[in-house]
A and B are shown apart, each in its own frame.
Chain A
Amino acid sequence: MVPVNPSDPSPPPLPAPKPPWWRDRRVVPWVVQAVVGLLVLLLIAFLLGNLVRNLTAAGLLLSWRWLQQPAGFDISESVLPFNAQLPYWRALAAGLVNTIRAVVVGLVGATLLGTLVGMASFSHNGLLRRLARVYVEVVRNIPLLLQLVFWYFVVFLTLPNGVAAIQLPGVVLAKSGLYIAGLGEGLRWMGPTLVNGVWQAPVRLSVEFGALLTGLIVYSGAFIAEVVRGGIAAVPKGQWEAASSLGLSWFATLRRIVLPQSLRVIVPGLNTQYISLAKNSSLAVAVGYTDLYSVAETTLNQTGRAVEVILVLLAAYLTLDLLISALMNGLNHLVQIRER
């Protein structure tokens, strides 16, 4: 500061001198950001350079030609038609579609289960309330991998097989999978039939898919139940009391008054759970379901293109999760309070 003599009014007060640049509020943040940005870029460049140098030394330069080569292995359960002569990229695509199938069905199932259990923890029925607590505490404290192995080996693989399978009209549940009647060849209605000791039906879900799905739904359902419970608990008690003074039933109160208001607390938490469900689906390898990770692992082993295959995997899971995130952010925007 320039000393100003208050007793001397004649010269007009000088404008405050410019501080040096390293104390300038407009300059410093830019400098700091530039330096940090440069360091990050240097680190990335170092890591990439290191990768390329080491790969070159090991005789492995990045290459994508393998994507066009025939895969050579079969996939039994695929939405996209696939056989061993098709190229690797088709195998990866088939794996990705299988992953998406498990994730989408898993998301719907886990949301339904989680919402029901979350609601049940506010029930007037003490037994229901305690069951919901037991479910949540047991399931979320056991590793998912262990649960998947349990569902697969202990529950699904102990189902009866062949003629002994559980048969209901139009539906058969056997050790090899769930068979459902539907439109078969020539658009004729076909029920499950036993051909040469193997069940056949227009709609077939393998037990591997069943075990993965059950595991994902039960596991994520417990976390979602907690998110829903938190959301419901966040709605002020007065809302419940007002609804009940209007004569609304417990269920109607939840459906029409409490749940809509709790959504704005629930949705952000749900986003996290959805993303972990998508990532957890890669544990499918443990139960023999051919998902993207399983195909990628075989591809990696057959081609030796570890870095490239891992890059594909990273990109695929990242895209899937960002997509889920974007959808959930959109939903979040919809359920927020409109301030007028």
Chain B
Amino acid sequence: MSKARLLALAALFGLVGCASGNEAPGSPTMAKIRERGRLVCAVDGAVPGFSTVGPGGAFVGIDADFCRAVAAAVLGDATKVEFRPVTAGERFVALSSGEVDLLSISSTHTLSRDAPGGNALSFGPVFFYDGQGVMVPKASGIRRLRDLAGKPICVESGTNTELNLADRMRELGVAYQPLRFQSGEQAYPAYEQGRCAAITSDSSLLAAKRSGFKDPAAHGLLPELLSKEPSAKVTVQADPAWADAVRWVSHTLVQAEESGLTQANVETRRAAARKDSSQAEQRRFLGIEGDFGRQLGLPADFTVQVVKAVGNYGELFERHLGPATPLGLERGLNRLWTAGGLHIAPPFR
């Protein structure tokens, strides 16, 4: 990027009210984050396992921890995060207007959201492989999508799920009544109160919301999946350097699991790798060899900071979504590629 363009960009951000003084190369967003000393991260805030307000008042969940991982990478401190709960309908505007730096919400990667002529967003690697499911009360006798003919179905407006539902019902030739709610905070209580015969969303979100119901066992998912929903972390297209940094934080989590690095052992492993120059791959990943951090505009040891702050991808999954949690999700497609799943990190070199 030429100096003139950089100045123009700086001037542009100045107009929005946050002039950036230092000349950090590359990313205006990262410069902004460093200047204010914290990352502004959008989360849903009401999905158990992904992001909710925990008993201590702090946000907990795999999405919330991703925000912390990014803060650890950029600022070296996982606590320097300002969480901003946003609804599905307002998330992309919050991002493109510069209100938040990053979306850590289940957002399906689609063409129109990605394309410069569409929403002009930038998607990281797939963080969670999901599919759209339909939840019904077990006692209702509804066993297939067709059984929902003529019945009201609750859905969050402004989501992909709303469109998939319309598509699938049209394919099946089944008339239904969509009940569109602005956010899950209205849709799920309405479903629980029996206003709709079914509710549809990403399967993991349904499981998450169900764990908060009065009687979770009374609700079940239909066997049919309506779609594939690979969801990723989102930034704006106008700042490719920032998008790259977020992308590689995501890769770090997966690579750490593959390399057997955990929150508990990363420091000792680094100390061991420092002494042993034969561990070339480990040394590159941990920032002992090469300048990969600097190339991204991040500290050399950002991978260590990330793993120390939140652990690897497998740890995150087990802690927030796995069988030991109220959600009880199987890893399925979200296993590493080495274990038959879909998560793979490109080489750190």
Contacts and interface: CB of A to CB of B under 8 A. Distances in A.
Given A198-B150, A298-B157, A302-B163, A59 B193 contact: no
B93 A306 contact: yes
Interface stretch (A20-28, A261-269, A282-290, A324-332): A282-290
Contacts of A280: none
B151 interface: yes
Nearest to B236: A58
A84 B16 contact: no
Nearest to A297: B89
A306 B165 CA distance: 24
B93 A300 contact: yes
B135 to A, nearest CB: 17
B340 to A, nearest CB: 34
Contacts of A75: 178, 180
A76 B193 CA distance: 19
A50 to B, nearest CB: 6
Interface string A179-205: 000000000000000011110000000
A306 B96 contact: yes
Contacts of B193: 153, 157-158, 175
Contacts of B16: 54
B112 A294 contact: no
Contact of A157 (B113, B118, B195): B195
B177 A76 contact: yes
A214 to B, nearest CB: 16
Interface string B150-177: 1110100111001101110110000011
Contacts of B88: 301
A288 B181 contact: yes
Interface stretch (B182-190, B253-261, B296-304, B319-327): B182-190
A73 B195 CA distance: 20
B292 interface: no
Interface in B104-128: 112-113, 116-121
A60 interface: yes
Contacts of B179: 76, 208, 288
A57 B154 CA distance: 38
B120 A59 contact: yes
Most B C-beta atoms less than 10 A away, residue of A73, A76, A208: A73
Contacts of A195: 150
Contacts of B15: 50, 53-54
B224 to A, nearest CB: 18
A175 B154 CA distance: 14
Interface string A288-327: 1010001001101111101000000000000000000000
Contact of B186 (A196, A207, A288): A288
Given A76-B178, A285-B182, A176 B195 contact: yes
Contacts of B152: 76, 176
A58 B120 contact: yes
B92 interface: yes
B273 interface: no
Contacts of B189: 153
Given A58-B96, A157-B193, A175-B195, A73 B166 contact: yes
B146 to A, nearest CB: 12
For this complex, into which size category does the number of interface residues on chain B fall? 35 or more
Contact of B157 (A50, A198, A287, A294): A294
Interface in A2-48: none
A72 B159 CA distance: 11
Contacts of A300: 89, 93, 158
Given A53-B12, A198-B150, A302 B112 contact: yes
B225 interface: no
A197 B151 contact: yes
Given A195-B150, A302-B158, A297 B182 contact: yes
Interface string B126-148: 00000000000000000000000
A161 interface: yes
Contacts of A60: 96, 120
Contacts of A152: 190
Interface in B235-280: 236-238
B149 interface: yes
Contacts of A306: 92-93, 96-97
A74 interface: yes
Contacts of B177: 76-77
B12 A74 contact: no
B41 to A, nearest CB: 20
Contact of B89 (A57, A158, A286, A298): A298
Contacts of B163: 72-73, 84, 302
B178 A304 contact: no
A100 to B, nearest CB: 18
A74 B194 contact: no
Contact of A301 (B89, B150, B165, B238): B89
B166 A290 contact: no
Nearest to A198: B150
A211 B163 CA distance: 26
Contacts of B93: 300, 306
A73 B167 CA distance: 8
A130 B152 CA distance: 42
A306 B89 CA distance: 11
B235 to A, nearest CB: 12
Nearest to B156: A298
17 contacts: A59-B117, A73-B162, A84-B170, A196-B149, A197-B151, A197-B197, A208-B179, A285-B181, A285-B182, A288-B182, A288-B187, A288-B190, A297-B157, A298-B162, A302-B112, A302-B163, A304-B118
In the A-B complex, the 6 residue pairs with the closest CB atoms: A304-B119, A301-B158, A76-B177, A84-B166, A285-B182, A157-B193
Interface of B: 9, 12, 15-16, 88-90, 92-93, 96-97, 112-113, 116-121, 149-152, 154, 157-159, 162-163, 165-167, 169-170, 176-182, 186-187, 189-190, 193-195, 197, 236-238
Given A75-B180, A176-B152, 13 more contacts: A57-B9, A72-B167, A73-B163, A73-B166, A84-B167, A152-B190, A285-B181, A288-B154, A288-B179, A294-B157, A302-B158, A302-B163, A303-B118
